[in-house]
């Protein structure tokens, strides 16, 4: 671990959260956000060799939709979105291997989301929180 963070690069304006009257009004939409999945529990499909990868912070890059951020680390697909009226996030394996983190419908512009998946049997990991850190 230890990939240097890119400089604070402005992204395309995410009108859901950064326009006047929104929670982050007055700030520029960042091109990158940092996310961390904390406090998860190993599931039935858990691979201990991947635990450090799951627990480390990930840098998600803004995608063509300015309120959507994502990152593929070769093993997991990490995604986060401030959608109209809600906040959504997920961490899924790129191939087969069960479920991980998925949460939809949290309040708009949320920065901490509880995992909506709490099923040991069909998961590589379950529970915990998806934490977003903005750097302006």
Count of the separate structural domains present in the chain:
1
pLDDT, average across residues 113-125: 88
Residue 18 lies in a domain: no
Residue 12 lies in a domain: no
Domain containing 61 equals: 36-133
Residue indicated by tokens 């989301």: 113
Residue 59 lies in a domain: yes
* pTM, rounded to two decimals: 0.88
Residue 46 lies in a domain: yes
Residue 87 lies in a domain: yes
pLDDT, average across residues 101-125: 90
State the SS3 of the chain.
Answer: CCCCCCCCCECCCCHHHHCCCCCCCCCCCECEEEEEEECCEECCCCCHHHHHHHHCCEEEEECCCCCEEEEECCCEEEEEEEECCEEEEEEEECCCCCECEEEEEECCCCCEEECCCCCCCCECEECCEEEEECCC
Residue with more model confidence, 56 or 96: 56
Q: Pull the structure tokens for residue 111.
A: 């920065």
Band (pLDDT 50/70/90 cuts) for residue 7 is: low
Residue 119 lies in a domain: yes
Q: What is the pLDDT of residues 22-38, one digit of tens each?
A: 999 999 999 999 999 99
Question: What is the longest distance spanned by two Cα atoms in the chain?
Answer: 46
Q: Tell which residue, 88, 87, 71, 70, has the closest CA to residue 23.
A: 87
Residue 74 lies in a domain: yes
pLDDT, average across residues 68-97: 89
**Do 27 and 131 contact (CB within 8 A), yes or no?**
no
Q: What is the pLDDT of residues 87-109, one digit of tens each?
A: 999 998 887 767 889 999 999 99
Q: Tell which residue, 40, 38, 13, 36, has the closest CA to residue 24.
A: 13
Residue 49 lies in a domain: yes
């Amino acid at each position: 671990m230890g990939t240097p963070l890119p400089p604070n690069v402005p992204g395309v304006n995410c009108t859901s959260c950064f326009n006047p009257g929104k929670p982050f009004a007055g700030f520029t939409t960042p091109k990158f956000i940092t996310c961390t999945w904390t406090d998860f529990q190993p599931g039935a499909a858990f691979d201990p060799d991947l635990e450090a990868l799951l627990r480390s912070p990930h840098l998600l890059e803004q995608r063509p939709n300015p309120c959507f951020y994502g990152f593929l680390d070769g093993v997991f697909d990490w995604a986060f979105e401030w959608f109209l009226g809600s906040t959504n996030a997920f961490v899924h394996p790129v191939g087969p291997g069960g479920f991980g983190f998925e949460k939809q419908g949290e309040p708009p512009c949320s920065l901490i989301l509880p995992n909506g998946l709490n099923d040991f049997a069909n998961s590589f990991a379950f529970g915990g929180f998806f934490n977003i850190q903005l750097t302006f």
